[in-house]
Amino acid sequence: MLTQQKVAIVVDSSSCLTTDIVEDLNISVVPHQLISQNKTYRDGIDINPSEFYDIQKYNHVTFTTSGPTPTDFFEKFQLATQRYQNIVCITVGSQFSNATLNAAKLAAQLTHDRYPRTRIEVIDSNAAAGAEGLIALQAARLAKSGQSIEQVITGIKNLIPRVRLLAVLDTLYYLEKSGRVPKMKAWAASLLGIKPLCDLTGGNPRLLAKPRGKQRAIALLFQTAFKHLGNSPVHLNIMHANAPDTAKTMHIKAKAIFNCEEVLVSEFTPVMGAHTGPGLLGLAFHTKTMA
């Protein structure tokens, strides 16, 4: 007997979900915008992560970003109303982009005004990149299994506080360019070969350590994750910014170290990569979802 899906899932493109997952779980993705040299690209439509990081790395191009507009969200909501009366929209954490959350809320109101029988719930993920992706993935699986909108919302809200996001930066050059790191600090880090390990959980970035060298930084990344996870069954999302070979090595290492229920490998979202640069490696994770 086929289960009928009752809820549509919408998420913005900062979520680091691969195309096959999006298609398999019928997730609707609203693109952010990447802007450079007076040209605007829709994330994942006009430019994919590999293309973005190649341009950034080899052409030394600086990008700025802009969140989806209310119209962008409205278009996705309107399409969803053709099949569903219930829509759950998950956005990047408001600490990262309050404008994205507000755009989704405005679009939800506009959609409800036009389609009053449609219920739309907009949820702040308090996360970004692969962490937001893991939340959207769980929501989509609940929806596909035929759960009600209340059950989907409960599942999301139970998961949000349990998702973590760690990242190793390959360079501070792009943070310096965006004004987020003083030029002298970026220069000193480059000279010393420092690869900062950061905790991006909950939209409050924290510097955890300043290891020298990529291998040492990756080892510390895994050690930090293991302190949180231990031997608990875990879902992982390994992210990379133009570093697929290293991500494959991390995938092998993760399966050897952790009690993995699921391991994904995805490309780090250009929406954040515009500020962190190529070479970044990240790990988003949560323990097994409770029944």
**Residue 75 within a domain:** yes
Instruction: Check whether residue 103 and residue 214 sit in a common domain.
Output: no
**Residue 41 within a domain:** no
Q: Residue 197: which region, alpha, beta or left (left: phi > 0; alpha: psi -120 to 50)?
A: beta
pLDDT of residue 274: 87
- Token digits of residue 211: 């290891």
Instruction: Check whether residue 106 and residue 178 sit in a common domain.
Output: no
CA-wise closest residue to 269 among 100, 65, 71: 65
289 burial via Cβ count (<10 Å: 0-12, 13-18, 19+) = middle
Number of domains composing the chain: 2
Predicted confidence (pLDDT) per residue in 137-195, tens digit: 999 999 999 999 999 999 999 999 999 999 998 876 665 555 444 343 433 344 346 78
CA-wise closest residue to 15 among 170, 129, 121, 151: 129
Which residues form the domain of 240? Answer: 164-287
Predicted confidence (pLDDT) per residue in 214-254, tens digit: 899 999 999 999 999 999 999 999 999 999 999 999 999 99
CA-wise closest residue to 275 among 52, 68, 20, 26: 52
**Residue 61 within a domain:** no
- Token digits of residue 136: 């959207």
> CATH code at 274?
3.30.1180.10
Q: Give Cβ neighbours of residue 73 (< 8 Å, ≥ 6 apart).
A: 10, 30, 89, 103, 104, 106, 107, 108
Final residue belonging to a domain, choices 161, 189, 214: 161
**Residue 230 within a domain:** yes
Residue 58's pLDDT band, with cuts at 50, 70 and 90, is: confident
**Residue 39 within a domain:** no
Q: Report the chain's mean pLDDT, rounded to a whole number.
A: 89
Q: Give Cβ neighbours of residue 288 (< 8 Å, ≥ 6 apart).
A: 232, 233, 234, 235, 261
Instruction: Check whether residue 130 and residue 212 sit in a common domain.
Output: no
> From CA 175, how far away is CA 179, in angstroms rounded?
6
pLDDT of residue 281: 95
Instruction: Check whether residue 25 and residue 82 sit in a common domain.
Output: yes
161 burial via Cβ count (<10 Å: 0-12, 13-18, 19+) = exposed
Instruction: Check whether residue 26 and residue 131 sit in a common domain.
Output: yes
Final residue belonging to a domain, choices 125, 146, 161: 161
Final residue belonging to a domain, choices 124, 146, 161: 161
Instruction: Check whether residue 154 and residue 181 sit in a common domain.
Output: no
> CATH code at 114?
3.40.50.10440
Predicted confidence (pLDDT) per residue in 262-284, tens digit: 999 999 999 988 888 889 999 99
CA-wise closest residue to 275 among 208, 198, 160, 192: 198
Task: Provide φ and ψ at 198, rounded to 5°.
Answer: -120, 150
| pTM recorded for the entire structure | 0.91
Instruction: Check whether residue 174 and residue 268 sit in a common domain.
Output: yes
Instruction: Check whether residue 187 and residue 223 sit in a common domain.
Output: yes
Instruction: Check whether residue 195 and residue 83 sit in a common domain.
Output: no
Q: Residue 104: which region, alpha, beta or left (left: phi > 0; alpha: psi -120 to 50)?
A: alpha
**Residue 99 within a domain:** yes
Predicted confidence (pLDDT) per residue in 82-126, tens digit: 999 999 999 999 988 999 999 999 999 999 999 999 999 999 999
**Residue 118 within a domain:** yes
Instruction: Check whether residue 24 and residue 140 sit in a common domain.
Output: yes
**Residue 194 within a domain:** yes
Instruction: Check whether residue 200 and residue 145 sit in a common domain.
Output: no
Instruction: Check whether residue 206 and residue 261 sit in a common domain.
Output: yes
